[in-house]
Amino acid sequence: SLSGKTAIITGSNSGIGLGVARELAKAGADVVLNSFTDRDEDHALAAEIAKETGTNARYIKADMSKGDECRALIEKAGACDILVNNAGIQHVSPIEQFPVDKWDAIIAINMSSAFHTTAAALPLMREAGWGRVVNIASAHGLTASPFKTAYVAAKHGVVGMTKSVALETAQEPITCNAICPGYVLTPLVEAQIPDTMKEYNMSREDVVKNILLERQPSKEFATVEQLGGTTIFLCTDAAAQITGTTISVDGGWTAL
Ligand code: NAD
């Protein structure tokens, strides 16, 4: 059980982050949810998880595009045994038209935020004598697709950072790994469907099967519960010597 551990999950009022937070809370961890908004429904998500699991669940607002807010998130939480760097956005465009502000935002949110949160969290993990850093990278941290330069660059960067942090903590009871999901049906992916339907003049079903899941040999989406389960595995004693590596949850994508 993860009882007594505090888990901070960045970008967790939706999608994979929320799913991972739910699974960690079910496993007994106190969870800190996060996004850049501060709405009643954000706090209600934490209250609902606390009620369902009997753990302490909080929501802390912090914008992961800003380094100081990333660090403040960890400080405000006060403890961080498990850090799940999950916040992320996507933008799809040929490189010549790729908006510079989108490039900057993707590099900041998808990659640099993990630099800041990890730097702030490691001292707390050392003090506690145990820690797990789990970076939600992507199959796009290991392979590429056209029109996703910023996302692919940021996710490869996260995989590289994962290795460096693992080496810096190698002789301590702290591990740092990246989980590389293939396609998971979350709002981030849902948002790509209408444009792709237009681009290829295809129905929703054809886009899902022939475009989105084209490279996912299982022809099934991975689920947020499976990503939560993989995160929990990385927190077990069985995974204590797993560090500086990637675990693909991609239905065979990277085997192709
Ligand atoms: P999502 O859009 O459902 O969730 C993204 C989360 O990040 C949301 O909670 C959002 O509020 C948060 N966020 C965005 N900008 C933020 C900011 N500036 N500060 C704080 N939080 C911010 O998307 P998702 O699919 O759940 O994606 C989560 C992570 O998983 C991302 O890093 C994404 O790249 C990665 N991923 C997703 C898939 C997939 O198929 N869905 C595949 C591989 C990797």
Dist. CA 63 → ligand 1 center (Å)? 13
Query: Can you name the residues that pair with 179 across neighbouring β-strands?
Result: 136, 247
231 close to ligand 1 (CB < 6 Angstrom): no
Told to judge if 151 belongs to the known catalytic residues of this protein, a careful annotator would answer yes
* Residue identifier of the C-alpha nearest atom 33 of ligand 1: 88
Answer whether 65 contacts ligand 1 (Cβ < 6 A): yes
Q: Is the CB of 181 under 6 A from ligand 1?
A: yes
- For the chain, how far is it from start to end, CA to CA, in angstroms? 36
| Ligand 1 atom, smallest distance to 189 CA | 41
Q: Is 88 in the pocket of ligand 1 (CB under 6 A)?
A: yes
Radius of gyration of the chain (CA): 18
24 lines ligand 1 (CB under 6 A): no
Q: Which of 75, 55, 63 is nearest to 13 (CA)?
A: 63
Per-residue pLDDT of the chain (256 residues; tens, 9 = 90+): 999 999 999 999 999 999 999 999 999 999 999 999 999 999 999 999 999 999 999 999 999 999 999 999 999 999 999 999 999 999 999 999 999 999 999 999 999 999 999 999 999 999 999 999 999 999 999 999 999 999 999 999 999 999 999 999 999 999 999 999 999 999 888 988 999 999 999 999 999 999 899 999 999 999 999 999 999 999 999 999 999 999 999 999 999 9
- Closest Cα partner for 232 from 22, 86, 79? 22
Strand segments (E) across 76-233: 82-85, 131-136, 174-181
Q: How far does residue 241's CA lie from ligand 1's centre (Å)?
A: 28
pLDDT the model gives residue 192: 85
Take atom 6 of ligand 1 and give the residue whose Cα is closest: 11
Counting ligand 1 atoms within 8 A of each CB, the residue from 8, 13, 14 with the most, and so the one to mutate, is: 14
For the domain spanning 6-184+222-250, the CATH number is: 3.40.50.720
The span from the CA of 84 to the CA of 135, in Å, is 6
How confident is the model at residue 240, as a pLDDT? 98
36 lines ligand 1 (CB under 6 A): yes
Domain with CATH 3.40.50.720 in the chain: 6-184+222-250
Residue 41: other Cβ atoms inside 10 A: 10
Q: How far does CA 20 lie from the centroid of its chain?
A: 9
Q: What is the pTM of this model?
A: 0.97
